Structure 1
């Protein structure tokens, strides 16, 4: 197959864990394109489903054709990028559940997976919900799912929920056959020591360094967030820095979800993770 003219890497992982922040930082490099979640993941899933087993079109489309059609999605979607852009980072939480496909489509592609203590992810989502209590947010399918903080967290944690799906897909990737393509980036470390974390990301990708400005990192997607009924969901603060706070979750919920951070022990996995080294 003909290789794409641009290099492709991917941003994935858990929600409310810094993927938009990371993309905003990387986009400061004029040789990079990065953004919030793109539609390619959904288009890819729908395309494969429509031309593979179980579809009446399956006999007409070979495996090689499916791969070419899939790569064509990327070529078409990013066709208008400036020639100066050499590397594209496509963001979608479903990429960790599709590493096998990415490995075939982009043999040199790697995935940056953003992670965060799950208890704080739930806290962040709950805060976002409480900021917009007069909105009919699309974070829930029906009113019964958001009657209290308990039902809200349960809905998000469901295996097909906002957090549960991403958590399951990440676990699959971390302990799967293509884990060596993964670099896990912790949200707290990214906000506390962005310069060091970004340098290590460049090293992982084997790309020359760039002088980023962590005091002027600004991003917002008001149109997208408002149609979700979640204004401010993807807004990035200007200065990259930690924002310590007390949780608003009931103690038992905070403890429950704080036990789900499986990436704190990567024994048996080929994935890499940026960790904080304690100085002597």
Structure 2
């Protein structure tokens, strides 16, 4: 069966699991939480690169066939016609994805950055006796050291943020749609309608009162229960931040997609 592959990427704690749970209500679609394919993609590229003595036997056409075959075989048992693979790294792979899948689109979930840091910190504090994989299962530290680790170039947030900017300002920005967490939770009907239009798919009637997704076993193993929890009803949640004022302000101006001057014209925004 000829399948259509699309990708969900963007920033952590910005609604990718919620969006996947909603999209999965459509029987033609398959979507889920972040999976292993992006890591496998990078590993295969490395093994087929010049660091291998056998790289002289592999040209770009063969590399593309191997990488495309990885997707086809990983999802071989999936009956869905349209597959959304999720990983924050896909924004950094847009040039390659555009060649492997000429009609592919990438949905990048974004959120006001201080609230991403707040959301992660809230999980850490809720699971005070369970060191998290987010920080390599290392206990201790402070809210400031954890924020610094998140925002570093190799941190959960820093890497994803840099990859997002690379995609937004790159040559394939027209394949990208930014979906704000704030819009998704407040206006799910309008958000999904815009996503279907972006994908060129017929609209499906989703149930925003009965959304479900279960990743409790994965979250427990990651030392972060609740990491992929999805509330049954899609709605915004008002709350106060856990971040000290100076830390909150440190990230307050990072939402470049909300700035008309910095937002790339080729990139759609919901």
Q: Please confirm whether the aligned pair reaches a TM-score higher than 0.5, indicating the same fold.
A: yes
C-alpha distance in 2 between matches for 1:206 and 1:38: 25
Match of 2:25 among 23, 28, 32: 28
Corresponding residue SS for 2:134: coil
Match of 2:15 in 1: 18
C-alpha distance in 2 between matches for 1:48 and 1:201: 31
Match of 1:247 in 2: 241
Match of 1:180 among 174, 180, 188: 174
Match of 2:225 among 206, 226, 231: 231
- Output one character per residue of 1:188-210: Cα deviation in whole Å (capped at 9) or x when no partner: 11000001100000001011000
**TM-score, normalising length: structure 1:** 0.93
- Taking a change above 3 Å as real, the CA distance of residues 128 and 211 of structure 1, as seen in their structure-2 partners, is same
- Output one character per residue of 1:109-158: Cα deviation in whole Å (capped at 9) or x when no partner: 000000000000000000000011111211113748x5100000000000
Match of 2:115 in 1: 120
Match of 1:137 among 132, 139, 149: 132
C-alpha distance in 2 between matches for 1:10 and 1:28: 17
Correspondence 1:47 to 2:47? no
Equivalent residues of 2:91, 2:167 under 8 A apart: yes
Corresponding residue SS for 1:270: coil
| Equivalent residue pairs, number | 268
1:54 to partner: Cα distance:
2.2
- Taking a change above 3 Å as real, the CA distance of residues 177 and 148 of structure 1, as seen in their structure-2 partners, is same
Which runs of no fewer than 5 residues in structure 2 stay unpaired?
none
1:52 to partner: Cα distance:
1.1
Query: Counterparts of 1:129-278 in structure 2 under 5 Å?
Result: 129-141=124-136, 143=138, 146-265=140-259, 266-274=262-270
C-alpha distance in 2 between matches for 1:143 and 1:72: 37
Equivalent residues of 1:220, 1:232 under 8 A apart: no
1:227 to partner: Cα distance:
1.2
**TM-score, normalising length: structure 2:** 0.97
Corresponding residue SS for 1:98: helix
- Output one character per residue of 1:164-201: Cα deviation in whole Å (capped at 9) or x when no partner: 00000000000010000000000011000001100000
Corresponding residue SS for 1:15: coil
Equivalent residues of 1:174, 1:269 under 8 A apart: no
Equivalent residues of 1:16, 1:121 under 8 A apart: yes
C-alpha distance in 1 between matches for 2:265 and 2:189: 26
Corresponding residue SS for 1:113: strand
Match of 1:277 in 2: none
- Output one character per residue of 1:75-103: Cα deviation in whole Å (capped at 9) or x when no partner: 01100012xx2100010110100100000
1:267 to partner: Cα distance:
4.2
Which runs of no fewer than 5 residues in structure 1 stay unpaired?
275-280
- Output one character per residue of 1:195-226: Cα deviation in whole Å (capped at 9) or x when no partner: 11000000010110000000000112011111
